[in-house]
Amino acid sequence: MLHSPHQPLQVAAVPSQRTPAREDQAGPWHSEAVCRRDEAGLFFAPSKEPTAARLSREEAAKQVCARCPVMVECREHALMQPEPYGVWGGLTAAERRVVLARRRRRDMELKAAAPAERIAAAG
């Protein structure tokens, strides 16, 4: 089913209580998220969404994220959970998979380098 411009988009799910509280505020970080206000339907794909429509919707969602005061917290939440769907913190699910793969690779490289550094320091 295709969405016509006159049909409302699906409403995005808001992070549940499992999200961490921001250290600099009394409430959880997502209470400050711009997406909670009015553009929530941009962040999750309707079923069978055409590629062009998905790309356009994701770009619009990223523009919302770009002006969000908690974008970094949102992105880290999505990377730590990990959230398999939607745009979180300005990244699509595919982009988050790339970030996670890079982090894993970097962590493996750092772990591999640590023993060599200890041997060099001891010698």
Provide the annotated binding site for [4Fe-4S] cluster: 35, 65, 68, 74
Q: What letter represents residue 67's amino acid?
A: R
Rg (CA), the chain: 19
Q: Would you state the structure tokens that stand for residue 44, as one six-digit string?
A: 């999750």
Quote the CA–CA distance of 43 and 71 in Å, as a whole number. 13
Residue where the block lists tokens 């200890």: 118
**Residue 4 zone, left/alpha/beta (φ > 0; ψ -120 to 50; rest):** beta
In angstroms, the CA 93 to CA 5 distance is: 24
Binding site, by residue number, is 35, 65, 68, 74
The answer to whether the CB of 74 falls within 8 A of the CB of 29 is yes
